[in-house]
Structure 1
Amino acid sequence: MKVRATTAIDQPVSDVFPLMADNRNEPRWNSNLSDSELLTAEPIGVGSRFRAVYRGQECIAVIAEHEPDRVVTFEVDTKQIDITGKMSFSPAGSGTQLDGEFDLRPKGVMRAMLPLLAPLVRRDFPRQFTNFKAFAEQR
């Protein structure tokens, strides 16, 4: 299942990009994520690994693509679903246009459940982007 989300943020790309690229920030704006820790050495870039807790279940998120101020892609592996999340950043006046593309690949029983949950999932990604916008703008 593919999902898209977009938002305009009233902060420059150079301020917004690092907030998204560092998954340790995500529990501060994503209501589904309760913890995230960096497992690899800094600086953050391609190959950086994070252990996160998503809806009570541990998962691993790895940065697969990292072009500062342009794009960051995470590959997320959970027990029930694998997710590729690509976030693209572009200047919009003095702010940032953030566009996200998410590819959800369910496993096991979740293959049957995801079509039933699709309306909720499609609403959740834009809501989380709204939360990220508020987080980024208060910095």
Structure 2
Amino acid sequence: MTHIEGQTQFRRSPAALFDFLADPRHEPQYNPLVVYAEKLTPGPIGPGTRFRQRIRRFGRTDEIVIDLVDAERPDRLTWRIDSAGLRVHGRQTVTATGDGSSVHWEWDFHLRGVLRLLGPLVGLAGRRLERRVWSDMQRHLDRLELSTGTSAPRG
């Protein structure tokens, strides 16, 4: 197992940040590795909601399935992500700060088959990728705020 975690600050209320994080269909807007995302289950987003994404990696496109395992708005999201070579268990905890919110994220990567040999590389590359994705998400949300001319919702 490879464990990756970090924390990122946002100028969003906990509820607004939670709602954004709870919908992986946003990810193609700021993560260049995600080329497509869709919601597979009917109804509102909540525990049991399933998504599918197509991601670009190693020169090809793969499919991943994302299950929202648990959600406690606006504080916590728990995920399970499956692809051919790995299963990921993830948690995101949103906390109010003086000027918005902070999200602490952590992912446990369980590599399958031959990929298990790549554990140390997955950890190194995954940490770098996660920092970039969260930074790109932060910039994306800031641009949205500027383009709409409204200030971000506060707690």
Q: What is the aligned partner in structure 1 of residue 89 from structure 2?
A: 84
AA at the equivalent of 1:77: D
* Pairwise CA RMSD: 1.2
AA at the equivalent of 1:50: F
Number of residues paired by the alignment?
139
Q: What is the aligned partner in structure 2 of residue 34 from structure 1?
A: 35
Query: Which structure is larger by alpha-carbon Rg, 1 or 2?
Result: 2
Percent identity between the two aligned chains: 26
Cα distance in 2 for partners of 1:70, 1:99 equals 10
AA at the equivalent of 2:99: S
Cα distance in 2 for partners of 1:50, 1:27 equals 13
Offset of 1:15 from its aligned partner? 1.4
Offset of 1:22 from its aligned partner? 0.6
AA at the equivalent of 1:22: D
Q: What is the aligned partner in structure 1 of residue 76 from structure 2?
A: 71
Say which of 115, 120, 131 aligns to 1:115.
120
Offset of 1:29 from its aligned partner? 1.8
User: TM-score, normalising length from structure 2?
Assistant: 0.84
| 1:16/1:136 contact within 8 Å kept | no
Q: What is the aligned partner in structure 2 of residue 5 from structure 1?
A: 6
AA at the equivalent of 1:46: P
Offset of 1:117 from its aligned partner? 3.7
Q: What is the aligned partner in structure 1 of residue 153 from structure 2?
A: none
1:109 partner SS = helix
Offset of 1:76 from its aligned partner? 0.4
Offset of 1:74 from its aligned partner? 1.4
Offset of 1:103 from its aligned partner? 0.4
Q: Deviations for 1:66-109, whole angstroms, at most 9, x for unmatched residues?
A: 11110111100000111112111010113010110100000111
Q: What is the aligned partner in structure 1 of residue 152 from structure 2?
A: none
Structure 2: which 5+ residue stretches go unaligned? Answer: 145-155
Offset of 1:32 from its aligned partner? 2.0
User: TM-score, normalising length from structure 1?
Assistant: 0.93
Cα distance in 2 for partners of 1:13, 1:135 equals 17
Q: Deviations for 1:19-72, whole angstroms, at most 9, x for unmatched residues?
A: 110111111122221111000112100000001112210111000011111011
Q: What is the aligned partner in structure 2 of residue 125 from structure 1?
A: 130
